[in-house]
Amino acid sequence: MAKYGEGDKRWIVEERADGANVHNWHWAETDCLPWSKTFFTKSLSDLPVLTGEGNLYIKTKKVEKVDGEAYVNIRKGKIIPGYEVSLNLSWEGEAKDGEGKTLLKAEGNVEIPYIADENADEDPEVRVTVKDEGPIGKTLKEAMLAKGKPLVLEKVRDYVKAMAKGGPVKDELEAKKLAPKNNSTSNSNSSSAVLSKEKTAVEKEAKKEGKKGCKTIKMSEKFNCRAKDMFEILMDENRWKGFTQSNARISKEVGGQFSIFDGSVTGINLELQEGRLIAQRWRFGSWPDGVDSTVRLVFDEPEPGVTIIKLTHSDVPEEDRYGNATVVENTERGWRDLIFNKIRAVFGFGI
């Protein structure tokens, strides 16, 4: 994820004298880390977990720290969130006996080391610790894990949904929609000209796309190996398991099915030419129902021991089922970092 404020200046629009970003046509980037800290502080502070069940009393105390980066980009009115944050939350618990006498008061921490837009469809890791590791302290810790962890994850999911809708930018966008328009003739004519140009540009761009709301990813990668070796690696489930460190099931027959990355990606083989072509239908589990894409990997060996793979991944949806508009970016990064670069590192095919 690019750091906030370090985007390509050709795409980050400087502030206009009138403060306007017409139709949000250009990139408009907002730092959301302060808003994220406020969100988690309000959501997770003083949250009751147990109020006497099993003679245990547990509640969260306060959010100690929220670190990382969070931002929202607006492009042509589309919300594109990006975030990688960690969270530390303190909690306290008390165990009583049957007569209501306190047996132990203990404190602990809840740590979530990685909340990220790339894993928006998955619950993050949650670590729970307690300062008193005695028998009663462990009982309080286990209760916090059993009852408190689901409550914390619920608030994290609320955060993910809020970021997908724009985070702190959502209210601003709604306000702009409701703002009265300038009725002066000169401004009207100027705005009409701008909108006309924007509409033409949008129409031209739309004609270049395949399915509505989908994009095409194209990449060209070079490897120090024979084309047949790369073909075998990409069609062999045991090698997939090796370089991805995840489960895989891959049919080597046309019409056969495959499942990779622990079932996160599934699909069907459409066309296979050994050492020359792999064409497949791909679908990610986080995509909207009924949406799939097409992958074509063309192998070229311009000289012995050097292979060039040309990837065309078409009909990739711009948003997942949760409204996150980072699907294309994450898919392209996955091909580069989790497949091609891993193959180079594991099999020594680096260039």
276-289 per-position pLDDT tens digit? 999 999 999 889 98
| The pLDDT value given to residue 188 | 47
Is 0.75 topped by the overall pTM? no
Q: State the chain's maximal CA–CA distance in angstroms.
A: 83
Q: First and final CA of the chain: distance in angstroms?
A: 24
| The pLDDT value given to residue 351 | 60
User: CA quadruple 208, 209, 210, 211: dihedral positive or negative?
Assistant: negative
Residues of the chain short of pLDDT 50, as ranges, are: 2, 5-26, 184-186, 188, 190-192, 194-209
- CA gap 308, 37 in Å, rounded: 46
Q: b or e along 59-96 (b: 16 or more beta carbons within 10 Å of the residue's beta carbon)?
A: bbbebeebebbbbbbbeeeebbbbbbbebebbbbbbbb
- CA gap 267, 26 in Å, rounded: 36
- Alpha-carbon distances, residue 342 vs 107, 220, 245, 311, 338 (angstroms): 42, 16, 10, 16, 6
Burial class of residue 130, CB neighbours in 10 A (0-12, 13-18, 19+): buried
Label residue 118 left, alpha or beta by phi (over 0 means left) and psi (-120 to 50 means alpha). alpha
- Bridge partners of residue 27, in order along the sequence: 12
